[in-house]
Amino acid sequence: MRKWITMLIIITLCFTFVDNFETVAEEKSVYIVEVTTSPKKTAQYIKRHHPTMEVMETFDILLQAVAVKGTKEELEKLQQEPFIQTIHQNQQYKAVYETLPNKNALQNAYIPAHFNGTKYTGKGIKIGIIDTGIDLEHEALTDNFQGGSDVVEYNDEPAETEEGFGQTIHGTHVAGIVGANGKIKGVAPESDIYAYRALGPNGFGTSVQVIAAMEKALEDGVDILNLSLGNTINVPDFPTSKAVNKATEHGVMVVVANGNDGPNDWTIGAPATAPTAISVGAYKHPMKEVSLWNARTKEKTAIFPVEDVDFWQTETTYYISETINHTDLLLINEANKTVLEDIESAKVLPKGIIVEAALYDESFFANYDIPVAIVESADKLRQKERMFFHVKTETTKEDVAPFSSRGPVAMNWQMKPDLLAPGVQIVSTIPGGYDMLNGTSMAAPHIAGAVAILKEAQPTWTNEQIIGALKTTARKLENKRPIEQGAGLVQIEEAIQTDVIINDPLLSFGKIHRFMDERTIELEIENIGKEAETFRFHIPKKEKGVTWHLPMNFTIGPNEKKTIPIKLKMNRSQIEDGIYEGYITLQSKKALYELPYMYMLNETKQKKIDGFQIKERPSTSEEHKYEFEFYATEMLEKVDVFLFDTENYVLEEKIATFDELQIGKKEGTFQLQNDEIILTNRFVFVFAIQLQGDKIIYETIDNKG
């Protein structure tokens, strides 16, 4: 029985939803209310007829909605109005990112400028960054920072929160990857940067602020939006996803981080799940890795050089000791940390020092001319007697970063991410300086910068052509699945120079339901070159129960576009359940294109119920009555919801039943029959889900009350 988190929605890569259940008990809460009438007129109506409620924001570009603040009783009265369509809880976000213990080991650093090997700089392209703000005085950002706004404190200076007040750095780092133009350069160093501070002290903000920032960006006329944010709700029907899709309709290209919840499948979250989002996974470039090999046990322990890198990359054998009396390598860990006091008075210093990450103090070790390396855990290096360890340097292969979230997307079964970009050990700007961070938060702005480069280099191309060119020319990583990498690693120069653009080459055939099923994808191929191109497909390897129907040869003339049908026939009786993915090869005289494909049969690894939230019903008249909502990620025959006591192992009561559940958002209410129950975290909700046929599976959702 699988366990899913209720109320705690984690923003992957860079932002975290905070437990929303506690806010229920507050006197007033904030809600996003979608309406059928004009949001501004609705706001005026609410002020007149519901004067005790506060109108926080009106949205009329990306959503037709108002954000209101009120008590439960006030919201219940508002719900009776005929113009109310849907009410969403206002979620909280927090900026999160991974700093590196070996941040001084620059031999493995990736500089964003390396991503762009062209002469183009993104000059004049407007890029909006929805984040924690920006260092307004940073030497590498002042020239191309052109404006923005702060929707946390409501002013025109979207500055990062300063030290001592819940300092933030995330937005400045993202901005530098896009367009730094100082000691280091970003991907598009002459682009126009517009920063929108949607998250305040300690990186906290709300969905109201994120959507408000997006609307401000559209009002400012940005060409590209970068959203290094997301959550773990693996469905496309979510307010932020709606906002992304609407922004695309307005001609803005929206780049979204895929999330940091990998390496499992089904971990991508909204708004990267939005169909029109350019979702980005994190690429790990080849790196030099230094390890200590135990000569007796043959175990390997990774270390991270921070001082005198050359010393650590010279392969030799050392003794390791936890006392200062030996002159090879001194190991400093929690058990012997007082040895730090002996270093100053030692007559003979060790050749090198290995220190656990938690004990590393850069200012302390800077006083001594000793090579220093960090180890995450010293457990494998601690020995009862002195042991030989051999220093070994290896160069790792390129990869998809393990933390990078994977697809597919539930409900519409799309393949995500769309593209990969560098996201490991990325050096960029932070307030007052520079630092090296990890995350798909760092990968997304590489693509935002790449889009700016293409818009400058190919000013007549449409947004669809730019996205198509990036996907068509992306480089596939070997031995990596489509739902890990999408089209692959972006190659900016190849995208600019391509003569062929395949519009959406990610072939998602969806979920197979019928006994004999047939799916066709219309693949649009455009020849923007000066000569005719002849193409042919390589027939995929024959698989039992699967038949491909592909045209053998076809020609597309110069400046001509053709739609090519890709037909897939399947016999469910001959195919086992699961996700099927691979590549179809399309070849011309000039190039080879590998088109990723995916389809699935009765895949049960993804959550059938997602985004479950419970809140006390906004009413003082009925105690122990609650409202809840969730998403059904596929058609379900029947769903029974039970309340389970984990301390006494008692199934307390059935609280809801749904028959023939369709895909999408569901809402309901329940009233506990036992009025002595208080929904603390000892209780969980058990969903008994009947799939097509008689198969029943169970999903358990914690109650974080």
- pLDDT given for residue 332 in this prediction: 87
Domain 109-282+400-493 top-level CATH class: alpha beta
**107 or 35, higher pLDDT:** 35
- pLDDT given for residue 119 in this prediction: 97
- pLDDT given for residue 8 in this prediction: 24
- pLDDT given for residue 620 in this prediction: 46
Residues 438-451: tens digit of each pLDDT: 999 999 999 999 99
- pLDDT given for residue 617 in this prediction: 53
Is the pLDDT at 18 greater than 60, yes or no? no
- Which residue ranges does the chain devote to CATH 3.30.70.80? 26-90
- Which whole number is the average pLDDT over 346-373? 83
Mean pLDDT of the chain: 85
| CB 58, CB 41: distance < 8 Å | no
What are the distances in angstroms from CA 475 to CA 176, 419, 440, 493, 592?
25, 10, 18, 12, 11
- pLDDT given for residue 11 in this prediction: 29
| CB 675, CB 624: distance < 8 Å | yes
- Which residue ranges does the chain devote to CATH 3.50.30? 288-395
Within 10 angstroms of residue 469's Cβ, the number of other Cβ atoms is: 26
- Which residue ranges does the chain devote to CATH 2.60.40.10? 500-601
Residues 531-583: tens digit of each pLDDT: 999 999 998 888 888 999 999 899 999 999 999 999 999 888 888 888 899 99
- Which whole number is the average pLDDT over 73-81? 90
- Which whole number is the average pLDDT over 679-683? 72
Q: Residue 417, preceding bond cis, omega within 30 degrees? A: yes
- pLDDT given for residue 679 in this prediction: 74
The CATH-assigned architecture of domain 288-395 is 3-Layer(bba) Sandwich (3.50)
| CB 583, CB 591: distance < 8 Å | no
- Which residue ranges does the chain devote to CATH 3.40.50.200? 109-282+400-493
Q: Structure tokens of 124?
A: 């004049």
Task: Specify the pTM.
Answer: 0.82
- Which whole number is the average pLDDT over 667-695? 74
97 CB contacts (<8 Å, ≥6 apart)?
A: 13, 14, 170, 173, 437, 438, 439, 441, 442
497 CB contacts (<8 Å, ≥6 apart)?
A: none
Residues 609-625: tens digit of each pLDDT: 777 777 655 444 456 67
What are the distances in angstroms from CA 371 to CA 33, 311, 558?
59, 7, 61
Residues 165-201: tens digit of each pLDDT: 999 999 999 999 999 999 999 999 999 999 999 989 9
- pLDDT given for residue 513 in this prediction: 72
User: Above pLDDT 70, what percent of the chain?
Assistant: 87
One of 3.40.50.720, 3.40.50.970, 3.30.70.80, 3.40.50.10540 is the CATH number of 26-90, namely 3.30.70.80
Is the pLDDT at 90 greater than 90, yes or no? no
Q: How far is CA 620 from the centre of its chain?
A: 39
**61 or 635, higher pLDDT:** 61
Candidate ranges 154-158, 298-302, 473-477, 596-600; pick with highest mean pLDDT: 473-477
Report whether CATH 3.90.1150.110 matches the domain 500-601: no
Is the pLDDT at 23 greater than 80, yes or no? no
Q: Structure tokens of 642?
A: 């039970």
Is the pLDDT at 5 greater than 50, yes or no? no
What b/e string do you get for 400-435 counting C-beta neighbours within 10 Å, with b at 16 or more? bbebbbbbbbbbbbbbbbbbbbbbbbbbbbbbeebb
Least confident residue range of 7-16, 68-77, 129-138: 7-16
Is the pLDDT at 400 greater than 90, yes or no? yes
Residues 259-309: tens digit of each pLDDT: 888 898 888 887 888 899 999 999 999 988 888 888 777 788 888 888 777
**704 or 392, higher pLDDT:** 392
Q: What is the CATH number of domain 609-702?
A: 2.60.40.2550
Q: Which of 449, 524, 542 is nearest to 177 (CA)?
A: 449
Q: Report how far residue 567's alpha carbon sits from residue 548's, in angstroms, rounded to the nearest whole number.
A: 6
- Which residue ranges does the chain devote to CATH 2.60.40.2550? 609-702
Least confident residue range of 91-105, 491-505, 596-610: 91-105
257 CB contacts (<8 Å, ≥6 apart)?
A: 12, 13, 14, 227, 228, 229, 230, 272, 279, 280, 439, 440, 441, 443, 444
Q: Mapping DSSP to helix (H, G, I), strand (E, B) and coil, where does residue 482 land?
A: helix
- pLDDT given for residue 233 in this prediction: 65
